[in-house]
A and B are shown apart, each in its own frame.
Chain A
Amino acid sequence: MIPAAFEYHAPASLADAVKLLGQHGDEAKILSGGQSLIPLMKLRLATPRHVVDINGIAGLDYLKEEDGVLRIGALVREADLEDSEFIRARYPLLHDTSRVVADPLVRNLATVCGNLAHADPANDHPAAMLALGAEVVATGPRGERRIAITSFFTGPFATALRGDEVLTEVRVPVPLPRSGGAYLKLERKVGDFATAAVAVQVALDPAGTCVHAGVGLTNAGTVPIKARRAEGFLRGKPLDDATVRRAGELAAEEADPVDDVRGSAAYKRDLVRVLTARALRLAAGRAGAGR
Chain B
Amino acid sequence: MVPRTPPEVGGMGHSVKRKEDARFIRGKGTYVDDIQLPGMLYLDIVRSPLAHARITKIDTSKALAIPGVLAVITGADLAKYNLHWMPTLMSDTQMVLPVEKVMYQAQEVAAVLATDRYIAADGVDAVEVAYEPLPVVVDPIKALAPDAPVLRTDKTDKKDNHIWHWEWGDRAATDRAFAEADVTVRQDIYLPRIHVASIETCGCVAHFDRVADKLTVWMTTQAPHAIRTVFALVAGHVGLAEHKIRIISPDIGGGFGGKVPVYPGYVIAVAASVLTGKPVKWVEDRMENLQADSFARDYHMTCELAARKDGTLTALRIKTIADHGYADAAANPSKFPAGLFHICTGSYDFQAAHVEVDGVYTNKPPGGIAYRCSFRVTEAVHAIERMTDLMAHHLGMDPAEFRLKNFIRPEQFPYRSALGWEYDSGNYAAALRKAMDRIGYAELRREQAEKRQRGELMGIGISSFTEIVGAGPSKHFDILGLKMFDSAEIRVHPTGKVIARFGTRSQGQGHETTYAQIIAEELGIPVADIQVEEGDTDTAPYGLGTYASRSTPVAGAAGAMAARKIRDKARKIAAYLLEAAEDDLVWEPGRFSVAGAPHRFKTIQDIAFAAYTNHPQGMEAGLEAVSYYDPPNLTYPFGSYICVVDIDKGTGQVKVRRFVAVDDCGNIINPMIVEGQIHGGLTMGLAPALYEEIAYDENGNIQGGSFIDYLLPTAVETPRWETDKTTTPSPHHPLGAKGVGESATVGAPAAIANAVVDALWHLGVRHVDIPITPAKVWKLLREKGVSE
Contacts and interface: CB of A to CB of B under 8 A. Distances in A.
A191 interface: yes
Contact of A264 (B651, B704, B775): B775
B117 A2 contact: yes
Nearest to B712: A189
B547 interface: no
B709 to A, nearest CB: 5
B650 A274 contact: yes
Contacts of B712: 189
A275 B775 CA distance: 15
Question: Most chain-A Cβ atoms within 10 A of its Cβ — which of B117, B695, B716?
Answer: B716
A44 B125 contact: yes
Contacts of A195: 774-775
A261 B709 contact: yes
B286 interface: yes
Contact of A270 (B287, B704, B782): B782
B775 A267 contact: yes
Interface in B72-121: 117-118, 121
Contact of B774 (A1, A2, A186): A186
Contacts of B691: 188-189
Contacts of A274: 650-651, 788
A206 interface: no
Interface residues of A, number: 25
A263 interface: yes
Interface string B752-775: 000000000000000000000111
B778 A4 contact: no
Interface string B689-716: 0010001000000011000110111101
Given A188-B691, A263-B775, A270-B778, A1 B716 contact: no
Question: Most chain-A Cβ atoms within 10 A of its Cβ — which of B712, B716, B778?
Answer: B778
A83 B450 CA distance: 41
A271 interface: yes
Interface string A245-278: 0000000000000000111100100110011011
B118 A2 contact: yes
Given A5-B122, A267-B775, A190 B651 contact: no
Given A189-B711, A271-B651, A4 B122 contact: yes
A188 B653 CA distance: 9
Interface residues of B, number: 32
Contacts of A270: 778, 782, 787
A37 B713 CA distance: 25
Contacts of B782: 270
A78 B223 CA distance: 45
Contacts of A191: 714
A197 to B, nearest CB: 11
Contacts of A4: 122, 125
B494 to A, nearest CB: 51
A240 interface: no
Nearest to B124: A2
Nearest to B714: A190
A192 interface: yes
B447 interface: no
- A interface, by DSSP: helix, strand, loop or mixed? loop
B775 A262 contact: yes
B683 to A, nearest CB: 12
Contacts of B788: 274, 277
B310 interface: no
Contact of B778 (A189, A193, A267): A267
Contacts of A103: 714
B717 interface: yes
A189 B695 CA distance: 18
Interface string B143-184: 000000000000000000000000000000000000000000
A278 B651 CA distance: 11
Contacts of A1: 285-287
A261 B117 contact: no
Contacts of A267: 652, 775, 778-779
A190 B709 contact: no
Interface in A1-26: 1-2, 4-5
A4 B121 CA distance: 8
Given A4-B122, A261-B709, A190 B717 contact: yes
Contacts of B714: 103, 189-191
Question: Most chain-A Cβ atoms within 10 A of its Cβ — which of B122, B285, B774, B787?
Answer: B774
A274 B775 CA distance: 14
A79 B782 CA distance: 38
A266 B357 CA distance: 37
Nearest to B774: A186
A267 B286 CA distance: 30
A267 B780 CA distance: 11
Given A1-B287, A2-B117, A44-B125, A186 B653 contact: yes
A114 to B, nearest CB: 18
A1 B652 CA distance: 35
Given A1-B287, A263-B775, A186 B122 contact: no
A200 to B, nearest CB: 16
A1 B44 CA distance: 11
Question: Most chain-A Cβ atoms within 10 A of its Cβ — which of B125, B651, B773?
Answer: B651
Nearest to A190: B716
Nearest to B713: A189
Contacts of B716: 189-190
Interface of B: 117-118, 121-122, 125, 285-287, 650-653, 691, 695, 703-704, 708-709, 711-714, 716-717, 773-775, 778-779, 782, 787-788
Shortest beta-carbon contacts, A-B, top 6: A2-B121, A274-B650, A263-B775, A190-B716, A1-B285, A189-B711
Given A192-B708, A263-B774, 20 more contacts: A1-B287, A5-B122, A186-B653, A188-B711, A188-B773, A189-B717, A191-B714, A192-B711, A195-B775, A262-B775, A263-B778, A264-B779, A267-B775, A267-B778, A270-B778, A271-B650, A274-B788, A275-B650, A275-B651, A278-B650
25 contacts: A1-B285, A1-B286, A2-B118, A4-B122, A4-B125, A5-B122, A186-B651, A186-B774, A188-B774, A189-B691, A189-B713, A191-B714, A192-B708, A193-B708, A195-B775, A261-B695, A261-B703, A261-B709, A262-B775, A263-B778, A267-B778, A271-B651, A274-B650, A274-B788, A275-B651
